[in-house]
Amino acid sequence: MTQTPVPVRRALISVSDKTGLLDLARALVAHGAEILSTGGSARTLREAGVPVTEVSDHTGFPEILDGRVKTLVPQIHGGILGRRDLPAHVAQMEQHGIAPIDLVAVNLYPFEATVASGAGVEDCIENIDIGGPALIRAASKNHDHVVVLTDPAQYGAIIAALSEGGTTLEARRALAGAAYARTAAYDAAIAAWFAAQRGDALPERLTVAGQRRESLRYGENPHQQAAFYADGSKRPGVATARQIQGKALSYNNLNDTDAAFEAVAEFDAPAVVIVKHANPCGIATADSLSAAWDLALRCDPVSAFGGIVALNRTLDAEAAARIAAIFTEVIVAPDATDEAREILARKKNLRLLLTGAMPDPAEGGVIIRSVAGGFLAQTRDNGRIVPGELKVVTQRAPTEAEMADLTFAFRVCKHVKSNAIIYAKGQATVGIGAGQMSRVDSARIAAIKGAEASRAAGLDQSLTAGSVVASDAFFPFADGLEAAIAAGATAVIQPGGSIRDDEVIAAADRAGIAMVFTGMRHFRH
């Protein structure tokens, strides 16, 4: 292996994305390289006056099977794979008239884009590239002697290297690694598509790939490295959003923003979610975003300071002014009016993200979490209760208003870390208990939060008085329910299923409150 620059005497170019093609080709020709090409790439070069040799003319073998076979021949792969430092390889190449190929520039058929466009099965299959990955992998394997380019963003560095006599081993090795990552991601997308075709969300071999969108300053803590990757899916959220203003997002910002936006998507009416450390500290729906903001903020104004705010409507000027009145890290919404953007522009450090659309909470997908030695995968929690299907288990049934609040509170539960207890009233949270080891502790903490919010609002009575309460999982004992009753809850929604359900129901009946079972749990760990 030589460390001196290696010149390019012959290059093979076959690209679907023609970005930068002419600049690369002209630089190669200017430095004495012969260019081999196929189909549309060759046509583009000829029309631009760049000298080019068709692969079929170089190999003496025509393209066949509607272009499915054009580079899968010994004259091409032998030229790429032959080692220039092995006399036996050189002799065999000369014996069979195989000319060395020193650079391969290939980007693959747009399979991912074809799938994303909603194309049919036949079109998707026709956009599975076969020759391209084979060329890329061959060139990558023989990177001691061959340059492999898989992205137009790589062309500039190679054009500069040509002027310096050629490429270094270090550069070729880096390009080879990037090339294998590209073919791995391509194969992962194809495998995922095939799994989706047969409705297999969790196949025997689960392949995961991502494109790095951004290197982050650090992870959850400054001593941790971090990066932000996009998986190519089109679900509206942090990976698809445009950042309109503000400094770069941190790892924690991204995590919290995702949590907030997924939560606010649960609601049909104008809604606001405030998140702090991945947990909502206030959620409300109302007739307007500004009214929803006021209600969400009232739930926990202390925790809301420095929080993440998500909205499910176009952000208007009134709501923007109210949100901007306190320190906010991030605002994420599908869109924002010009007036709202102007108001927020005065807050230079506030990040404004616009997604263009809302995610569908009923849509499927796979959630992945790493563990030592592997990872866990599960389908997205897209369960949603239907009020008419809830089971009333107490002597008293909920009122219509209570049922509306119970449904609202249980939707909130889905987005609060377990053990989750939610007090709600008037389609707004008035107390949230999250992430406790004991459910009764969550009930008490949520009540304390409600009392603190009441004092902050100058109210004589706790916000939790006359509220409903939701639990993400069953009450294992009556004590958690009794804590909610003591806080003023008048109706309860919970999954049910505890061996002590009768004990819990009896406690509700003694207090004269209503209770419904959902039969659905919303653990979030």
Q: Say how far apart CA 74 and CA 98 lie, in whole Å.
A: 8
| Active-site pick, 31, 89, 141, 347 | 141
Q: For residue 141, indicate whether it is catalytic.
A: yes
Q: Which residues contact 19 (CB under 8 A, 6 or more apart)?
A: 152
Q: Which of 19, 6, 217 is nearest to 107 (CA)?
A: 19
Decide the pairing of beta strands 366-371 and 468-471.
Answer: unpaired
Query: Is residue 320 classed exposed, middle or buried when 0-12, 13-18 and 19+ CB atoms within 10 A define those classes?
Result: buried
Q: Say how far apart CA 469 and CA 456 lie, in whole Å.
A: 21
Are 449 and 297 in contact by the 8 Å Cβ rule? The answer is no
| 3-class DSSP assignment, residue 124 | helix
CA 78 to chain centre: 41
Q: For residue 525, indicate whether it is catalytic.
A: no
**How many Cα neighbours within 13 Å face the side chain of 336?**
28
| Active-site pick, 89, 277, 348, 449 | 277
Q: Say how far apart CA 178 and CA 210 lie, in whole Å.
A: 12
| Peptide linkage before 419 cis (omega within 30 of 0) | yes
Q: Give the H or E element holding residue 481.
A: helix 478-486
Which amino acid is located at 49 in the chain?
G
Q: Say how far apart CA 496 and CA 475 lie, in whole Å.
A: 7
DSSP state of 153: G
Q: Which residues are catalytic?
A: 141, 277
